[in-house]
Structures are given as C-alpha cells and as structure tokens.
Amino acid sequence: MPNILKIEFSPLTPLWTGNIDRDSAEPVVSGLLGSLRWWFEGIIRGMGGYTCDPAGDEKDSSKKKCLFDGKHIEAVCPACRVFGCTGLSRSFRLDVQGLEALPLFFICDPRVFVSHGNWLIRIYEGFRERRSDGTSFGFNNSQLWATSSAKLLFTPNSLTLAKRGLNAEQLTNILYYLLSVISKFGSLGAKGQNGFGQIALDSETSMSDWKMQARQALNILVEQFKDANPDSAKNARQNDPDWFSLDQFFSYTYKIPDAGVYQRPGSCRVIGDEKTFRQHSDRFLPCAFDIRYRRSLRNPATQRGEDIGFRPYAKNSLRRSGSPDYEELVKALGSPAKDGDRKRKASRIFVSHLYKQKSTDPEWSLKVWGALKRTWYELFNDYITSSEMFPKAKIDENATFAWEDWK
Ligand SMILES: [Zn+2]
C-alpha cells in the first residue's frame, strides 16, 4: 500500500470547483488540481525557476508546453514533473472527502444590488425573478462547504516517482508546503479572486519544518531544469512576465471588528439563497465581489448618484498624485467577466469573503493578495481601511506575506 498523505482542513469560505455534477466528484478534483498547479507554478517562478503554462502557446517555442519523451526528465519543467504533461502522468492521485453542496449566495451593498445581481447571475449561471416586492436573483449552481473537517487524500504514484527524480518523502513535503502556502496566503480551488476557497489546515505543523525540506526538493527540480535548458540555448524557454509568479506577491489578512453594511441585519442585500445566508452568517459573509467591484458612478451630466468603489477611489487618488498608472491598474484589477482562473491577465488582486477563523471570534478576517506593483497594493490598502469600507480594519502582522521577506 502506498503511503497516503491525508491533509484535513476546514473551509472558512466555501470552495468553488466548477459546475458540480452530482453524479461525479471529478469536476471537484480537477478544479482543485488546477489551483494546486497554479500555486506551484507561482512558487517555482518566485524561486527563479521556469515552469510552462498548461495553456501554453504552441506557436511560440519559448512558451510551449512540456512533452516527456520517456527519457529526458530534466527537459520537463518542475510543475510538469509533479503535475504531469503529455507523456507523463501526475505524480499522485487526489481524492476529496467531506465536502457537501451548499446553495450559492452573495451579499452586497444595497446601492449596487441590481447591477451586481446581474453580473453574478451571468458569471455563476443564475436567473432573475421579478416579484411584487422587487427583483430577486437565484442560481442553478452550488458551492462546496463542510460543517466539520474535509480531507484531501494524496496517493503518490509510487511506480513513477524514481523516473521523475523524486521520492515519496520529497513529494509529501512539497504537497504539504504547497497547502501551507495556499491556506496562509492564498485560496484553494477556482474563483479565489471572488472570495472562494479560504481554508485552515486542521493541524498546522510549523511551516518552517516543512519549508526547508520542501524548498530543497524544489530547488533540485529548478536547478536540474536550468542545467538541461540553458538560457543561452536556441529555443530557450522563458517565463512570460504575465504568468503568475510569487516574486511580486503580497498577502495581507485584515482583522475587522465592524463589517459595516455587511454584518448589520437587514442592511445588506442577498443575491441568491437567503435562508442559507442566515444559517451561515456567523461564519462567512460572501461579499468579495462587492469589495472588488462595488461601483456606482456619479452621472457627470446630471450630477446624480455618487462615486463609490475602488475604481473611482483609485482614479481620484492617482490623479491627485499625478500618476499615469491608472489605466494599468484598471487592467490589473480586471473586469467581472466570466473569467476562468487560467485567464491570468484578468485579475491580479484577489479578495476573500469576510470570514471567521472560529465562529466565536469577535472579529472578521479579510485576506487580500495578489501579484502587482507595491504602489498598487498600498493604494488598495488605503481603500480597504478608508471610511468607505472598513475604517477599523487592522492588518494582522502575523499573517502578512511578501516574497522578498521570505526567500
Ligand atoms: Zn511543463
């Protein structure tokens, strides 16, 4: 029997893993694998290594996907050595236990209820109903949740480990490390930019223990690939600057004693299943979409309405400082289109829902992370702590991350 690595975790916000087919767990697993690989790529690139993009550009020889010829494992990038590519299976099997479907819902500031409802039903396959008391929104999709712990079960593909230059212990260290990074600084599964996938590992072993051994194992993969694929070679493969990398990464977790409009009974609006919202409103408040996109603009002709949301905030602030970065920032923020996580240009700021580490916690947590210029996340920080959002928010210094502090 191969040694199965069992990682127990508690979702702090629901997971999004693609449309759920009730007869099969496959979409769930493939959604999780996609996000594990995405973080793995970010770590390797942050370490100065190369990994290919699974959506690679076959016409551009510097960006094409890996292909294993059965002999030269060093020609396969570190991510494909672990996650597989054409000619090479994945180094482990993943099973998930303990997650259950929960009706989908979001909450928002009442001022943007209709515009956000319309966006969200497009992104998450919902519908609109007109009732006598106004418009309401519903969804055909679910999200995943666990009232107690859920489990990720990694079964190493023992027969192929030697072929890829890994042993079971190295693989275990790498996977644990990956989950540690995700739980502390990012999110698990798809749609992390819209609040899904905040998790806590149930038995968090001190990260430094795993970190050293995992990084040693990763370094070997990075160096072997470099030796076999020198930058000077014809057709050298290079990371695209638009690919996700932790080398410009930051992650902050805020502690928020007063979640304002989102926590006062009756003051926020629910998009989707209202009953489920009430059942879970002591654990998470799904307002990430609102935090990123809350937006309404003053009509310049009539002067009606008001400027609210990050975009007008950033615009005004950058204009005041004479910075030319505004258009670039808007690009980095993306638009609320139907964007898969693979479409990386779409989003560079990720925002969690508001959540509690434990239901008895007096404060809400909010995680903000991304890969962008320091001036931009400082600006986003100003916005989060502004009177418009959460003026009492404080950064939790124990849960702050920047890659340069870490390598
Ligand atoms: Zn590859």
pLDDT digits (tens, 9 = 90+) for 254-277: 999 999 999 887 899 999 999 999
**Could you tell me if 136 and 170 lie in one domain?**
no
pTM score of the predicted model: 0.90
Residue 47 lies in a domain: yes
240 found inside a domain: no
Q: Which residues contact 145 (CB under 8 A, 6 or more apart)?
A: 11, 14, 15, 99, 100, 101, 102, 280
Residues 327 and 199 in one domain: no
Query: What's the gap in Å between 31 CA and the centre of ligand 1?
Result: 19
Is 183 found in the same domain as 125? no
Q: Domain for residue 323, yes or no?
A: yes
Domain assignment present for 92: yes
Cα 124 to Cα 336: distance, rounded to the nearest angstrom? 11
What pLDDT, on the 0 to 100 scale, is given for residue 316? 79
Expressed in angstroms and rounded, the spacing between residue 3 Cα and the centre of ligand 1 is: 26
CB 219 within 8 A of CB 27: no
pLDDT above 60 for 336: no
**Alpha carbon of 51 to ligand 1 centroid (Å):** 5
Q: Which helix (H) or strand (E) holds 72?
A: none
- Residue 238 within any structural domain of the chain: no
Do 131 and 12 share a structural domain? no
Cα of 143 vs its chain's centroid, Å: 15
Q: Kindly give the distance from the C-alpha atom of residue 206 to the centroid of ligand 1, in angstroms, as a whole number.
A: 30
Ligand 1 centroid vs 81 CA: distance in angstroms? 7
- pLDDT digit string, tens, across residues 186-234: 999 988 888 999 999 987 665 566 778 899 999 999 999 999 988 877 7
Do 299 and 195 share a structural domain?
A: no
End residue of a domain, out of 171, 193, 228: 228
Residue 149 corresponds to which amino acid? S
Supply the range of the domain harboring residue 290.
Answer: 106-140+245-405
| 343-362 per-position pLDDT tens digit | 434 567 889 999 999 889 99
Q: Specify the pLDDT at position 310.
A: 79
Ligand 1 center–CA 56 separation, angstroms: 9
Ligand 1 centroid vs 115 CA: distance in angstroms?
A: 40
Say if residue 321 is in the same domain as residue 391. Answer: yes
343 CA distance to ligand 1 middle (Å)? 17
Q: What is the number of residues in the chain?
A: 407
Report the mean per-residue pLDDT for the chain: 86
- Cα(54) to centroid(ligand 1), Å: 7
For residue 193, report the distance from its CA to the centre of ligand 1, in Å.
25
Last residue of a domain, one of 203, 228, 253: 228
- Looking at the structure, tell me whether residues 397 and 291 fall in a common domain: yes
Residues 64, 160 within the same domain:
yes
User: If you measure from the C-alpha of residue 185 to the centroid of ligand 1, how many angstroms do you get, rounded to a whole number?
Assistant: 24
Give me ligand 1 centre to Cα 64, in Å: 8
Question: Residue 234 domain-assigned?
Answer: no
pLDDT, position 276: 94
Phi-psi region of 125 (alpha: psi -120 to 50; beta: other; left: phi over 0): left
Residue 366 and residue 355: Cα distance in Å, rounded?
7
Total of domains in the chain: 2
Q: Give me ligand 1 centre to Cα 43, in Å.
A: 14
Residues 114, 95: one domain?
no
- Residues 278, 358: one domain? yes
**50 alpha carbon to ligand 1 midpoint, in Å?**
8
Q: From the CA of 369, how far away is ligand 1's center (Å)? A: 25
Quick check: is 307 in a domain?
yes
The closest of 37, 21, 114, 41 to 371, measured between CA atoms, is 41
Q: What are 291's two structure tokens? A: 């935090």
Residue 63 Cα to ligand 1 midpoint, Å, equals 10
Q: Which of 179, 195, 228 is the last residue of a domain?
A: 228
What gap in Å lies between CA 156 and CA 159, rounded to an integer?
9
What spacing in Å lies between the alpha carbon of 53 and ligand 1's midpoint?
7
Residue 233 lies in a domain: no
Q: Which residues pair with 285 in a beta bridge?
A: 354
C-beta neighbour count of 195 within 10 angstroms: 29
Shared-domain flag, residues 154 and 185? yes
Residue 78 Cα to ligand 1 midpoint, Å, equals: 7
Tell how far the Cα of 77 is from the centroid of ligand 1, in angstroms.
Answer: 4
Q: Are residues 251 and 370 in the same domain?
A: yes
Ligand 1 centroid distance, CA of 312 (Å): 40
